[in-house]
Chain A
Amino acid sequence: MLDAFFQGAHQVFAFDTLIYMLIGSVAGIVAAAIPGFTVTMAIILTLPLTFAMEPLQGISVMLSVYVGGYTGGLISAALLGIPGTPSSVATTFDAFPMARNGEPGRALSLGVWASFFGTIISTLVLIVAAPPLAVVAVRLGPWEYFSLIVFALTIVASLVGNSLIRGLIAGVIGLGLATIGPDPMMGRPRLTFDMDLLAPGLPFLVVLIGIFAISQLLDEVEIHGKKVNHALIPKSIDFKTWEVMREVLMRPVNLIRSSLVGVVIGALPGAGGSIANLLAYDQAKRSSKTPEKFGQGIADGVVASEAGNSATAGGGLIPLISLGIPGSAVDAILMASLMVHGISVGPRLILDHADLVYGMFIALTVASFMMLVVCVASMRLFLRVTDIPKQFIVPTVMICCVIGAFALNNRMGDLYLLGAIGLVGYILKCLDYPLAPLVLGVILGPIAETNLRRALMSDGDWTVFFTRPISALFLAAAVLSVILSIRSIWKAHKKGNGNKDALV
């Protein structure tokens, strides 16, 4: 174990890896500071650059983009009141009023320190939780795995977006798209409609880029007309770095609670930083002695929301490392980057590639320190990023997406698929379908099918899914997540403040 740890540390602390991570950290912060540019998109754009790197080096760079991205969203949230990423929505509630009240530097510093401590706490939980969970996961059979995937998909569908049924439809469409091409057991071609383009199946990174990035960029063009009051960014900002660090540490209960909320939410498939950000804020408000001050620029609100969203970074890696199930789109890309290097991600990852897993733990810690140093040293420069007009960002990022999709297999056919999937993603987005369940469906589809067929290989008896206790538990949890989701929608309807079309 110690050998593996030192091997991982040796690779992460190599000079070139640290330089790449530093660039990744800056890129993540800059990307997320641009309103409308999500952490997912930043990671997608990083992916092709890591193809030529060693697996751990590549994943370390992506983790630094990830950690930097969660913090970068804070900049436009605090100064412009626009969440740079969906995971910094709750940050605007207090950071923006604080900035408007003449303390923009304090708001930014609070967010940066809270993000830093949130990431560190989540990494500690990851180190403690992932290895034992992986040992248990290795003993799970195909019955339990299939039921776990059913649970993961129902929980994603019920947590993401405004409508449970559209979430379920999106998830099942993803599973359906994954069946195109050779079947995962025997390699028999299916649903290819005699088209060479579909014969190898849909590469899920192309689906991911098309669904998330292209649709988001096309959507951005429509809202580009809304002018932002750039005068909100003051010329001189006092960051009060060390004073604010003490201020954050003086709130240990809020910091630890919000980070743990982030870890738990991050570990749940589909429930990423955006939910953790809101939930941690809500918990801080509920347990505060002065809840009426929330929303007016209170430090507790900024600390809770930023610690919450940053802690999902470590939390999301728990199911990825121990079960091979990505908790979010970002984790799915991290998984893809390992698969590109021929590393199979699953419960055996920690047993077969211990150096890689320990390296990931170290990289996450190093990335959070880098984010802190970069933010403290050059926050003033990043503020200028919010001024870049969308006319430059949207087409350029689109080109980067094309490069990412092409560089994966050097196949023009992938680009045609990208164009088609991008249009589907944009239309689904316009129609308010959540996109995360679709992408997770594409990723989990082959795993679900393989386990289902293995589970029924001996006698084809479906009741076995209900007679094996852990499998039955996951299926019961899946049903429960759907029932709870319907119940909460029903309650919102009764109160009269729910989304009118939440069910459908």
Chain B
Amino acid sequence: MTADTPKPAAADAVASAATRARNELARLVSYIVFGVAAVYCAWRASSLPTSRWEPLGAGSFPKLVFSVLAALCLFAAIKSVIDIHRNGGMPEAVYAFGRWLKIRRISFAIYGLLVVYLGVLSTLGFSLATFGFLLIAQLLIAGVTRRTVIQSVIAALVFSFGLNMLFADVFNVFLPRGVLIAF
């Protein structure tokens, strides 16, 4: 049993190589996505009509930029593949992605909440939508206890209705009023 257990240093080295391979895999995906998007944008830019008044038209600069981006992504992707092989080959992509998401679950939950908030902002109005966003976000981060609920409700009230009043009355900046409820 003990003979089969890897030594701590060796285990750490294996773990760090696996982590590097996982990080590199995520970056490789990003290089591919950016590279493909760059090729597509360069193609779209090249279809823009040329100018009569100058040698470079509206499409020349974007074509140049996206071509450079595609070349950089290609170089980075090749280097990335080499690094992944050096660090023990391709890790299980689904497992790696699942782990990546799990570590960042609260961040993504807050982001999801932000998307919903931005979506309902024009309908509910700044004060009401912000109150809901702040309350849920604070409880997501701090956890739900009697104390955190009371604190969060107070903070949400101050920074939603209070902030709206501050901007409108002091700075003359008018935030979305909402369609359903005009707060």
Contact = CB atoms under 8 A, between A and B. Distances in A.
Interface in A60-80: none
Nearest to A453: B56
B128 interface: no
Nearest to A449: B61
B5 interface: no
Nearest to B26: A431
A448 B69 CA distance: 16
B19 to A, nearest CB: 11
A221 B142 CA distance: 10
Interface in B35-67: 38, 41, 44-45, 48, 51, 54-56, 58-62, 65-66
Nearest to A183: B58
Contact of A501 (B20, B73, B104, B141): B20
B69 A188 contact: no
Given A176-B66, A186-B51, A422-B114, 5 more contacts: A416-B118, A432-B23, A457-B55, A460-B55, A501-B27
Contacts of A416: 118
A222 B138 contact: no
Contacts of B111: 218, 422-423, 426
A169 B51 contact: no
Contacts of A406: 175-176
Contacts of B24: 501
Given A402-B118, A501-B24, A221 B134 contact: no
A400 to B, nearest CB: 8
B48 A504 contact: no
Interface of A: 48-49, 51-52, 165-166, 168-169, 172-173, 175-176, 179, 183, 185-186, 188, 190-191, 214, 217-219, 221-222, 224, 389-392, 394-396, 398-399, 402-403, 406-407, 410, 412, 415-416, 418-419, 422-423, 426-428, 430-433, 445, 448-449, 452-453, 456-457, 459-460, 500-501, 503-504
Contact of B62 (A190, A423, A431): A190
A19 to B, nearest CB: 13
Nearest to A433: B30
A498 to B, nearest CB: 13
B182 interface: no
Contacts of A396: 134, 155, 159
At the interface, is chain B mostly helix, strand, loop or mixed?
Answer: helix
Given A179-B45, A224-B141, A403-B173, A504 B107 contact: no
Nearest to B81: A504
Nearest to A217: B110
B107 to A, nearest CB: 4
Query: Which among B60, B114, B130, B175 has the highest number of chain A CB atoms within 10 Å?
Result: B114
A475 to B, nearest CB: 15
B115 A419 contact: yes
A229 to B, nearest CB: 19
B141 A221 contact: yes
A130 B121 CA distance: 45
A456 B55 CA distance: 7
Interface of B: 20, 23-24, 26-27, 30-31, 34, 38, 41, 44-45, 48, 51, 54-56, 58-62, 65-66, 68-69, 72-73, 75-76, 79-80, 83, 100, 103-104, 106-107, 110-111, 114-115, 117-118, 121-122, 130, 133-134, 137-138, 141-142, 148, 151-152, 155, 159-160, 163, 167, 171-176
B73 to A, nearest CB: 7
A214 B108 CA distance: 12
A405 to B, nearest CB: 10
15 contacts: A173-B69, A176-B66, A190-B59, A191-B41, A214-B114, A394-B110, A407-B167, A415-B118, A422-B114, A428-B30, A452-B56, A456-B54, A459-B55, A501-B23, A503-B79
Contact of B80 (A183, A426, A504): A504
Given A398-B114, A399-B159, A457 B59 contact: no
Contact of B68 (A172, A190, A433): A172
A391 B20 contact: no
B55 A419 contact: no
A190 B26 contact: no
Nearest to A412: B122
Given A403-B167, A457-B55, A179 B61 contact: yes
A389 B142 contact: yes
B104 A394 contact: no
Contacts of B155: 392, 396
Given A165-B76, A191-B45, A399-B163, A219 B107 contact: yes
A219 B60 CA distance: 37
Contacts of A183: 58, 61
A128 to B, nearest CB: 37
A474 to B, nearest CB: 18
A398 B20 CA distance: 32
A453 B44 contact: no
A136 B75 CA distance: 39
B65 A169 contact: no
Nearest to A397: B159
A190 B58 contact: yes
Contacts of B44: 191
A390 B155 CA distance: 12
B103 A222 contact: yes
A222 B110 CA distance: 11
A222 B20 contact: no
Contacts of A500: 20, 83
A218 B76 CA distance: 27
10 shortest A-B CB distances, which residue pairs? A460-B55, A395-B137, A391-B142, A179-B62, A504-B79, A183-B58, A391-B141, A188-B58, A218-B107, A449-B61
